[in-house]
C-alpha cells in the first residue's frame, strides 16, 4: 500500500503536534515535511518511522511519497 507520510500518521492516529514533539521540531516544521518529504533529514525520518512502527522503505520509499518529493523539486 502506497501512503504519504501524512496518510501514515493519520492512519496511526498520531497528531502533527505529537509527531513534531517526537522529532523535536515545531509543528509548522513537521507540517511542511508532510508536504515536502524530501526536506526530512535521515535522522528525523528514522524518528518518524519509529513512531509509526513502520520501516523506512514502507514510509519513504513508496510511490506516493516519492511523487511528493518529485513534486517539491519541480516547484523549487
Choice between 76 and 63, residue whose per-residue pLDDT is larger? 63
Q: List all residues 6 or more positions away from 4 whose beta carbon is below 8 Å from its beta carbon.
A: 34, 37, 64, 65, 68
pLDDT tens readout for residues 37-69: 888 999 999 999 999 999 998 898 877 666 666
pLDDT at 37: 86
Cα angle, residue 74 at apex, residues 68 and 76 outer, rounded to 5°: 105
Residue 28 has pLDDT above 90, yes or no: yes
Q: Which CATH architecture has domain 5-75?
A: Orthogonal Bundle (1.10)
Work out the angle at residue 24's Cα, subtended by the Cα atoms of residues 43 and 57, and round it to the nearest 5 degrees: 35
- Domain ranges for the chain, please list them: 5-75
Amino acid at each position: 500500500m502506497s501512503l504519504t507520510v501524512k496518510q501514515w500518521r493519520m492512519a496511526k492516529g498520531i497528531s502533527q503536534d505529537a509527531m513534531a514533539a517526537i522529532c523535536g521540531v515545531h509543528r509548522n516544521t513537521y507540517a511542511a515535511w508532510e508536504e515536502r518529504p524530501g526536506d526530512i533529514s535521515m535522522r528525523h525520518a528514522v524518528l518518524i518511522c519509529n513512531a509509526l512502527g513502520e520501516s523506512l522503505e514502507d514510509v519513504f520509499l513508496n510511490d506516493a511519497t516519492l511523487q511528493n518529493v518529485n513534486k517539491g523539486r519541480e516547484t523549487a
